[in-house]
């Protein structure tokens, strides 16, 4: 048995996959991080307080985890959903009643989305309270604000997709405000003077019509499934990269690093 | 009581109940840590500054946190179904029509301001203002640890903005707003036919100066007074600057950053002021012009 194991571990195939053995040495602990594409987001060593949940509340990481869960469940949902007003609601009914594990996937997607909005707000709250936006992390805070906006937009565009009463009226209330945009909305200050009408103002562009209708569904769908996740992913990459470049998690003794 | 239970147990409202407890818990925890640091004269964070290996120390915490979150999410998803109401019907408006919960603070603002302010200008200022924070906060203390006494102004302002003007308004919008966006206690049955006689007045009318003449044209005096009030409000910033410009903190801020800070601060304060005027005195507008009203 041991011999087989040894042989296996000496084989070319094994060695090409696993670059180091698993003896508990500092060198191996370091290699465990740098040799792994997913873990090498981390530094090899960090200050102890940065691993303290009492300090970070873990909220940034949990936000990211929820984003991953949302991506996976979202892709599964896409197999069952057609973004056309004749089908959308029927597809939801079918998913909730006849698809194996359909409700579970949809519920996970919905509740993770709500949870992500909450965790991102709490993450921001903790970053503020620990003063972690102060130099050299100013720009990463700005990236964070963009991520917050993207999170809200993702959630809002997703809200429309079930195409039920809750969906269209919540989105109607939300987008009605755009009528009143100064200069660009037909009911906003100076809008009419600039030639804005209900069928050419900024809300019309957003909805693809004068009210929430089939073109809105398609627009929100494409935004929700492709455009916004793509942009959010790009900003998350920047966010994580900057955390490393700014000297890791902030702390009283690690702030002077440029 | 029946209504209270209905509100709390509505699937989409459960996260808001969760939010309430999380926000209270974290605020308490953060202040507990901040005051402890302030009191004891050394920082807990600074004592935990030895370098440790990420594998296994951090990876273990992350793994456990991920497990914990996924277990909660799974249970939540097994137990409670996401809502699916009747098919969309553009001709049947539900009452009340509520925006998704995270926008209810903005929807509540619609009571006090016209949509161009509540729905467009304020959100834009919130976003830009948040992005500006690192550049206008010149206090270099309190970087990377919990403290209260070293940055009182920043922390109080942020807490008022986040806890009261954002979270509390969300809770209000969810549990206290019923049909017609009227105020109901959460345990009160919603009366869909309630009509409240509107006796709103404009601010100048409190002093007997009418906004409009009998022929409905604008009263120039009211417009002038309204303009003066708005401009006067924002020029409070200038007065404060003249009085205090030699203090250390304002010198460090400099003229430009001071003005941005003051503008953002006054804009944020305008919301509770307008709420107070509206709820206390039924004031609708401070300034009425042919193009926009404030
Ligand atoms: C999709 C949204 C976001 C994700 C996935 C995310 C993720 C993370 C993660 C994993 C960290 C590491 C430390 C921690 O967990 O607290 C972090 C740190 C940080 N985040 Fe975010 N974040 C998001 C949104 C935001 C927002 C809204 C802000 C603020 C406006 C922000 C500002 C920061 C800053 C300044 C740091 C460095 C903190 C420090 O060094 O102590 N992030 N983020």
Higher pLDDT residue, A202 or A95?
A: A95
Cβ–Cβ under 8 Å, residues B140 and A135: yes
- Residues in B closer than 8 angstroms to A188, CB to CB, are 116, 120
Cα separation values, A70 from A154, B73, B266, Å: 11, 11, 38
Atom of ligand 1 nearest to the CA of A137: 35
Domains of chain A: 57-252 (1.20.810.10)
**Which pLDDT score, from 0 to 100, does residue A39 have?**
82
Centre of ligand 1 from the C-alpha of residue B103, in Å: 22
**Which pLDDT score, from 0 to 100, does residue A234 have?**
97
Tens digit of each residue's pLDDT (9 = 90 or more) over A127-170: 999 999 999 999 999 999 999 999 999 999 999 999 999 999 99
Question: For all residues of chain B together, what is the average pLDDT?
Answer: 89
Nearest-CA residue for ligand 1 atom 14 is A60
Centre of ligand 1 from the C-alpha of residue A123, in Å: 6
pTM over 0.90: yes
Distance, CA of B156 to CA of B28 (rounded, Å): 14
CB contact under 8 A, A115 and B73: yes
Tell me if residue A45 falls in helix, strand or coil: strand
Cβ–Cβ under 8 Å, residues A216 and B90: no
Nearest-CA residue for ligand 1 atom 13 is A60
**Which pLDDT score, from 0 to 100, does residue A60 have?**
94
Tens digit of each residue's pLDDT (9 = 90 or more) over B261-294: 999 999 999 999 999 999 888 888 988 888 888 8
Best residue of A62, A111, A253 to probe chain B, by most B CBs closer than 10 Å: A111
Q: How confident is the model at residue A256 (pLDDT cuts 50, 70, 90)?
A: very low
Name the nearest CA neighbour of A57 among B25, B226, B133, B239. B25
Decide if pLDDT at A257 tops 60: no
Atom of ligand 1 nearest to the CA of A249: 40
Centre of ligand 1 from the C-alpha of residue A147, in Å: 9
- Residues in A closer than 8 angstroms to B83, CB to CB, are 164, 166
Cα separation values, A202 from A186, A187, A196, Å: 8, 11, 9
Tens digit of each residue's pLDDT (9 = 90 or more) over A18-65: 888 878 888 888 888 888 878 878 888 888 888 888 888 999 999 999
ipTM score over 0.90, yes or no? yes
Distance, CA of B291 to CA of B122 (rounded, Å): 18
Report the pLDDT averaged over residues B222-235.
92
Question: H or E segment at B169?
Answer: helix B169-175
CB contact under 8 A, B52 and A252: no
**Angle, alpha carbons A23-A24-A25 (nearest 5°):** 100
Mutate to test the pocket of ligand 1, among A54, A117, A119, A144 (most ligand atoms within 8 A of CB): A144
CB proximity B30 to A under 8 Å:
yes
Best residue of B15, B88, B107 to probe chain A, by most A CBs closer than 10 Å: B88
Nearest-CA residue for ligand 1 atom 28 is A144
Distance, CA of B267 to CA of B125 (rounded, Å): 9
**Which pLDDT score, from 0 to 100, does residue B182 have?**
82
**Which pLDDT score, from 0 to 100, does residue A255 have?**
42
Report phi then psi at A124, rounded to 5.
Answer: -65, -40
Distance, CA of A119 to CA of B26 (rounded, Å): 11
Q: How far apart are the first and last CA of chain A?
A: 53
**Which pLDDT score, from 0 to 100, does residue A15 have?**
86
**Angle, alpha carbons A36-A71-A229 (nearest 5°):** 100
Task: Give the strand pairing for B51-53 and A45-47.
Answer: antiparallel
Decide if pLDDT at A14 tops 90: no
Tens digit of each residue's pLDDT (9 = 90 or more) over A65-101: 999 999 999 999 999 999 999 999 999 999 999 999 9
Name the nearest CA neighbour of B84 among A49, A124, A95. A95
**Which pLDDT score, from 0 to 100, does residue B31 have?**
96
Give DSSP secondary structure letters for A235-253.
HHHHHHHHHHHTTSS--TT
Distance, CA of B267 to CA of B129 (rounded, Å): 10
Percent of chain B's residues with pLDDT above 90? 50
Report the pLDDT averaged over residues A100-115.
96
- Length in residues, chain A: 258
Beta-carbon contacts of residue B137 (< 8 Å; ≥ 6 apart): A133, A134, B151, B154
């Amino acid at each position: 048995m041991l011999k087989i194991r040894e042989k296996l571990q000496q084989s070319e195939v094994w060695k090409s996959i696993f670059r180091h053995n698993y003896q508990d040495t500092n060198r191996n602990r370091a290699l465990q991080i740098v040799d792994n594409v997913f873990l090498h987001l981390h530094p090899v060593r960090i200050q102890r307080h940065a691993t303290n949940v009492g300090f970070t509340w873990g909220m940034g990481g949990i936000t990211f985890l929820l984003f991953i869960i949302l991506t996976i469940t979202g892709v599964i949902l896409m197999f069952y959903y057609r973004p056309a007003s004749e089908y959308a609601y029927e597809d939801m009914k079918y998913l909730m009643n006849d698809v194996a594990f359909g409700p579970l996937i949809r519920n996970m997607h919905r509740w993770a989305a709500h949870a992500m909005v909450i965790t991102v707000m709490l993450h921001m709250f903790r970053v503020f309270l620990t003063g972690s936006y102060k130099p050299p992390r100013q720009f990463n805070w700005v990236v964070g604000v963009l991520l917050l906006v993207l999170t809200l937009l993702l959630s809002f565009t997703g809200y429309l997709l079930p195409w039920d009463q809750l969906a269209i009226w919540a989105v109607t209330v939300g987008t009605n405000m755009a009528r009143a945009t100064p200069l660009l909305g037909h009911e906003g200050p100076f809008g009419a003077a600039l030639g804005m009408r209900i069928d050419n103002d900024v809300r019309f562009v957003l909805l693809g019509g004068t009210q929430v209708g089939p073109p809105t569904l398609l627009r929100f769908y494409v935004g929700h499934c492709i455009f916004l996740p793509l942009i959010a992913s790009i900003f998350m990459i920047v966010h994580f990269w900057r955390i490393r470049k700014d000297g890791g998690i902030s702390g009283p003794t690690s702030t002077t690093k440029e | 009581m029946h209504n209270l239970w209905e509100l709390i147990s509505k699937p989409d409202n459960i996260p808001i109940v969760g939010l309430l407890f999380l926000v209270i818990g974290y605020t308490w925890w953060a202040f507990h840590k901040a005051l402890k640091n302030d009191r004891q004269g050394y920082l807990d964070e600074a004592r935990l500054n030895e370098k440790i290996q990420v594998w296994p120390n951090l990876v273990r915490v992350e793994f456990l946190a991920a497990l914990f979150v996924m277990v909660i999410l799974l249970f939540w998803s097994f137990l409670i179904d996401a809502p699916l109401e009747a098919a969309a019907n553009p001709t049947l408006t539900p009452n009340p029509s509520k925006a998704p919960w995270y926008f209810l603070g903005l929807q509540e603002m619609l009571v006090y301001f016209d949509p161009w302010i509540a729905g467009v200008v304020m959100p834009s200022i919130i976003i830009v203002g948040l992005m500006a924070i690192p550049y206008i906060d010149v206090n270099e203390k309190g970087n990377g640890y919990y403290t209260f006494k070293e940055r009182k102004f920043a922390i109080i302002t942020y807490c008022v903005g986040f806890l009261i003007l954002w979270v509390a308004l969300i809770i209000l919008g969810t549990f206290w707003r019923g049909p017609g966006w009227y105020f109901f206690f959460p345990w009160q049955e919603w009366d869909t036919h309630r009509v409240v006689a509107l006796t709103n007045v404009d601010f100048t009318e409190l002093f007997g100066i009418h906004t409009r003449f009998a022929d409905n044209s604008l009263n120039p005096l009211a417009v002038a007074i309204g303009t003066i009030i708005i401009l006067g409000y924002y020029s409070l910033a200038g007065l404060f600057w003249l009085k205090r410009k030699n203090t250390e903190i304002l010198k460090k801020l400099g003229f430009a950053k001071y003005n941005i800070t003051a503008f953002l601060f006054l804009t944020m304060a305008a919301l509770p002021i307008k709420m107070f005027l509206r709820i206390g005195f039924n004031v609708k507008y401070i300034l009425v012009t042919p193009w926009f009203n404030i």
